[in-house]
Chains A and B, each alone.
Chain A
Amino acid sequence: MIKIKRASDCSESEITPETIYQQRRKFMKASSVWGTGLLLGGWGTYLNASVDVSSYKKSVITLDDKLTDFKDASRYNNFYEFGTGKDDPVKNAQEFNTDNWTVNISGECEKQGDFPLEALLEGVDIEERVYRLRCVEAWSMVIPWLGVPLAEVLKQFSPTSKAKYVAFKTLFDPERMPGQKRSVLDWPYVEGLRIDEAMHPLSLLAVGMYGKTLPNQNGAPIRLVMPWKYGFKSIKSIVSIEFTEKQPPTTWSLSNPREYGFYSNVNPNVDHPRWSQARERRIGEFFKRDTLMFNGYADEVASLYAGMDLTKYI
């Protein structure tokens, strides 16, 4: 069962006046630095882009499912930019420096340019959301993310009526991401969403998990989290967001269009051509459990796909 709290449900004890005070100070500081940077025509040296997640709204959306151990969620990762083995990212991403991270905003929107990470998150409260994560490989986790609604961030850039899709891109830098030295996939990793999917209240831009800043191997400093889609849609270490009129290409469907579609919604009734998607192994459990339609988020998202043949639009 999914519990969605309304903003009014947040009790006083969850957000102390002091943390609000600190939060505001931080935002003020960040925005003033950003302003100065703008005036100077470059902010590179002024900002440390690591996101402070010390204060956040707790459990805005939560689940009854038992949380996956932090240890497992941070050492069992598919992040091919740091190697194709599950334990490669935790080994190879430790030196990855996410300071001075900027995200380029482009395409069908009014406000474009390079934005420091803090500017991107400015004025949007970080909240905690416990989501199921279902990998296309038939394993799953339950993770308490810290992030901001994707819609809140996207709206800041005033997408135009031509913005029908949103395309995302991961950093391409083989020196910092050694997995990119091998052409296992067509680098850089790209992903995309239909604009209504992107604007859905469940779509999240995560900057942390388990009350802490996002570990490098989990997609630091900023990643997408799409709880009703297979994990590979939740693109990591984002450096570019582009509003497009046409459906953008996505890495896994470029790699194998028969096996990985643009939508990639979790669907126990449509098998991967090579294996079943009906069941999944929850990390921490021995036997497999049934996979839920839209990963258990059918009530919230099924209407996005009304009238679509989900065996065709995989």
Chain B
Amino acid sequence: MPFKSVILHPLAKPLFFILCLSPLLGIILNAIWGDLGANPVETVTHQTGDWTLRLLILTLLITPLRRWTGYSALLRFRRMSGLFVYFYASCHFLIWFLADHSLNVSSMIEDIIKRPYITVGFSAFLLLTPLAMTSNQWSMKKLGRRWKSLHQLVYVIITLGILHYLWLVKADYLEPMIYAMVALMLLLVRVERFKRLWTTSSRSS
């Protein structure tokens, strides 16, 4: 089956939904089987954090992928992927708020103010909120051109997210650096595109 008919298949979106949900299902199953390791809270915190970044990268990959392949249908997956970013970021935040701060708001706020890696991580989460809230047809219509400007916050968010990861590592920077390199490439691809857009628009005006 050619790629195009795969992504246009009526089951493609439900399947993608299940795929995005499978990391959480994996965590839940491991929790039931008592298989989250010696430090389950840390395992869940790390895994939800990892999946937030991975899905953020996937979301940012969809637009350039569409340009390269010419398959506009790929855009069908971008909103769902982006909403799952917010879903995993929320899980990541909630497990930290619950297990590390015992739901104590003032202790959480103190941590956010005092620890730079938490400051940037929490900022990224806050910035994601309006993006998740406006990821629907109604908001797109309502906001018009401003919708795009608002959603360009995602570039700030991924930078903060990776900084959050880099800042908490003790000595082994390999994994966060891999995320950083991939994110950098995804941003550079866009800079090139912006450049081209700018030159065409200035020519036409």
List residues of chain A with CB under 8 Å of any chain B CB.
69, 71-73, 75-76, 80, 84, 86-87, 137, 139, 182, 184-185, 255, 271, 274-276, 281, 283, 286-288
Question: B80 to chain A: closest CB distance in Å?
Answer: 31
Task: Give the distance in Å from the alpha carbon of A87 to the alpha carbon of B168 in the complex.
Answer: 19
Closest 9 CB pairs between A and B? Answer: A76-B38, A72-B38, A84-B172, A184-B172, A184-B171, A287-B102, A283-B38, A286-B99, A255-B171
A274 partner, pick from B38, B100, B116, B174, beta carbons under 8 A: B116
Work out how many contacts link A and B, with CB atoms closer than 8 A: 52
Judge whether B39 and A274 touch: CB under 8 Å: no
Judge whether A139 and B39 touch: CB under 8 Å: yes
Given A275-B115, A276-B111, A87 contacting B37 (CB threshold 8 A) = yes
| Residue ID in chain A nearest B100 by CB atoms | A288
Task: Give the distance in Å from the alpha carbon of A288 to the alpha carbon of B103 in the complex.
Answer: 12
| Residue ID in chain A nearest B173 by CB atoms | A184
Judge whether B39 and A86 touch: CB under 8 Å: yes
Judge whether B116 and A80 touch: CB under 8 Å: no
Which of B39, B100, B117 neighbours the largest number of chain A CB atoms within 10 Å of its CB? B39
Which DSSP category, helix, strand, loop or mixed, fits chain A's interface? Answer: loop
Task: Give the distance in Å from the alpha carbon of A287 to the alpha carbon of B38 in the complex.
Answer: 14
Question: B153 to chain A: closest CB distance in Å?
Answer: 26
The 26 sampled A-B contact pairs (Cβ below 8 Å) are A69-B38, A72-B38, A73-B38, A80-B172, A86-B37, A87-B37, A139-B42, A182-B172, A182-B174, A184-B172, A185-B171, A255-B171, A274-B115, A274-B116, A274-B117, A274-B168, A275-B115, A275-B117, A281-B39, A281-B41, A281-B99, A281-B100, A286-B41, A286-B99, A287-B102, A288-B102
Total interface residues in chain B, CB < 8 Å: 19
Judge whether B170 and A137 touch: CB under 8 Å: yes
Q: Is B167 positioned at the interface, with any CB of A under 8 Å from its CB?
A: yes
Task: Give the distance in Å from the alpha carbon of A86 to the alpha carbon of B40 in the complex.
Answer: 12
> Which B residues, 111 to 169, have Cβ-Cβ distances below 8 Å to chain A?
111, 114-117, 167-168
| Residue ID in chain B nearest A278 by CB atoms | B107
* 11 more CB-based (< 8 A) A-B contacts, given A275-B117, A281-B41, A288-B99: A69-B38, A73-B38, A76-B38, A84-B172, A86-B37, A87-B37, A184-B171, A184-B172, A185-B171, A276-B111, A276-B114
| Residue ID in chain B nearest A83 by CB atoms | B172
**Cβ contacts under 8 Å, B116 to chain A:** 274
Task: Give the distance in Å from the alpha carbon of A137 to the alpha carbon of B38 in the complex.
Answer: 14
Which of A139, A182, A287 neighbours the largest number of chain B CB atoms within 10 Å of its CB? A287
